[in-house]
Homo-oligomer: A and B are copies of this chain.
Amino acid sequence: MTTTAADRTLALLEGQVGRALPEVETPVAVIDLDRLETNLAELQSYADAHGIAMWPHTKTHKSQELGSRQLELGAAGLTVAKTGEAQIFQEAGAPRILVHYPPVGPDKWERLADVAAAGAELTIAVDGLAPAEGLSRVFARRGLRAELLVELDVGLHRTGQTTTAGAVALAEQLERLPAVEPAGLSCYPGHCRRDDPELSDELRAVDELLRETREAFDRAGLRSDRVSGGSTPTQHLTHTTCVNELRAGTYALLDRNQAEDDRCALWVEVTVVSDAVAEQVVVDGGSKTFTSDPHPAGGHGSVVGLADARFIRMNEEHGYVDVSALERRPTVGDHLQIVPNHACGCMNLHDGVLAVRAGVVDHVIRVDARGLIR
């Protein structure tokens, strides 16, 4: 094992502990610990109040530290998208892990079996027979078991069985496989957007389809006690549906797509590096620091405290901020704080993040599952 860029970056970040934010090297991702704790506690309280089990999606932060905190606060288990993430959060002590992604191929089945063998209770969401058959074969050979959820397409049209009849037929096929047990339904209402005035109507349609399918499962003698759903935009409406397991992810950090700046726990600290071109300044973060993930209103992030500054354009390492509407133009060397459009995409670019409290770097949060290929 030789030194990687991740090792170098983490060493550099460790050297920033104790610095006040204006003194840290940039560009660097920052998490405010108080806001993080508020975000985590608030949704956990909501779920507790409504008897909904929290299964936070770790794809947002990819950090063992944050996953462990979510479990301490009362999460029933953690959700992951990748086999490697399951491994990393099992190692962090997660007792139950939901892999909400179809596992395809023998390497992934063996690795999921490793996670189960190490002691995590595994649940895997599937929308077809082939991944489940492979998984069943490997788990049966190794004397392991897993629960399955049948994914239902409730409107995003990405993955999931598209009809109640299809979901029942798949669940009946899954019931005949050894070592795996279909335990209910899963959905991702990713088409229901916070900015859509019809949000609750849309979610009602999702709920009708879920209930219809759950009743069809009951009639067919299939387990339907687990109904997994949720997304950050719809999270606070979960109790109006039959979903009893909530997989929200972005709620932990929030971002420009989801919330106002003062609720976002994540931002990127950048430095103005050029003011040579009129009416703009260039900062040292671009698409390799923020992601190119879009925002419906355009732009690449929100400049904290400078509502009239517009982050209008990016190249890989350059951020163009239109400052023509500002009374005082930032100068070379000034720091800006920019909330990214999409926290999940941004976190996945960084091997580590500075955890701050009251503007001082407290420690480094490692992004333990960054960029895993599997």
Partner of A291, one of B101, B107, B292: B292
* Interface stretch (choices A4-12, A43-51, A70-78): A4-12
Partner of A59, one of B10, B13, B316, B351: B316
Partner of A282, one of B59, B158, B277: B158
Partner of A162, one of B1, B277, B344: B277
Partner of A276, one of B9, B159, B372: B159
Please tell me if A374 contacts chain B, counting CB pairs below 8 Å.
yes
User: Do B345 and A371 have beta carbons less than 8 Å apart?
Assistant: no
- Chain B CB within 10 A, most for which of A27, A273, A292, A367: A273
Chain A interface helix/strand/loop/mixed: loop
Could you mark each residue 330-374 of chain A with 1 if its beta carbon is under 8 Å from any beta carbon of chain B, else 0?
001100000000001100111100000000000000111111111
User: Do B9 and A371 have beta carbons less than 8 Å apart?
Assistant: yes
Please tell me if A326 contacts chain B, counting CB pairs below 8 Å.
no
Inter-chain contacts of A278 with B (CB < 8 A) = 162
In the complex, which residue of chain B has the Cβ closest to the Cβ of A320? B158
In the complex, which residue of chain B has the Cβ closest to the Cβ of A10? B4
Please tell me if A82 contacts chain B, counting CB pairs below 8 Å.
yes
A287 to B277, CA, bound (A): 32
Please tell me if A121 contacts chain B, counting CB pairs below 8 Å.
no
Please tell me if A28 contacts chain B, counting CB pairs below 8 Å.
yes
Please tell me if A119 contacts chain B, counting CB pairs below 8 Å.
no
User: Do B332 and A131 have beta carbons less than 8 Å apart?
Assistant: yes
CB under 8 Å from chain B, chain A span 209-233: none
Inter-chain contacts of A7 with B (CB < 8 A) = 1, 4, 6
Inter-chain contacts of A368 with B (CB < 8 A) = 4-5
Partner of A284, one of B104, B162, B348: B104
User: Do A104 and B27 have beta carbons less than 8 Å apart?
Assistant: no
Please tell me if A84 contacts chain B, counting CB pairs below 8 Å.
yes
Please tell me if A145 contacts chain B, counting CB pairs below 8 Å.
no
Please tell me if A261 contacts chain B, counting CB pairs below 8 Å.
no
User: Do B317 and A59 have beta carbons less than 8 Å apart?
Assistant: yes
Please tell me if A157 contacts chain B, counting CB pairs below 8 Å.
yes
A271 to B82, CA, bound (A): 13
User: Do A333 and B130 have beta carbons less than 8 Å apart?
Assistant: yes
A190 to B313, CA, bound (A): 13
Given the interface contacts A27-B373, A317-B101, A351-B6, does A277 sit within 8 Å of B345 by beta carbon?
no
Inter-chain contacts of A17 with B (CB < 8 A) = none
Please tell me if A177 contacts chain B, counting CB pairs below 8 Å.
no
Inter-chain contacts of A276 with B (CB < 8 A) = 127-128, 151, 153, 159-162, 166
CB under 8 Å from chain B, chain A span 61-117: 62, 81-82, 84, 88, 101-102, 104-105, 107-108
A28 to B273, CA, bound (A): 34
Partner of A102, one of B6, B27, B274, B287: B274
Inter-chain contacts of A369 with B (CB < 8 A) = 5
A35 to B245, CA, bound (A): 49
In the complex, which residue of chain B has the Cβ closest to the Cβ of A347? B288
Please tell me if A173 contacts chain B, counting CB pairs below 8 Å.
no
In the complex, which residue of chain B has the Cβ closest to the Cβ of A291? B292
User: Do B373 and A25 have beta carbons less than 8 Å apart?
Assistant: yes
User: Do B9 and A373 have beta carbons less than 8 Å apart?
Assistant: yes
Distance from A104 Cβ to chain B, minimum over Cβ atoms (Å): 5
Inter-chain contacts of A12 with B (CB < 8 A) = 84, 373-374
User: Do B25 and A317 have beta carbons less than 8 Å apart?
Assistant: no
In the complex, which residue of chain B has the Cβ closest to the Cβ of A151? B276
Please tell me if A207 contacts chain B, counting CB pairs below 8 Å.
no
Given the interface contacts A162-B276, A371-B9, does A292 sit within 8 Å of B4 by beta carbon?
no
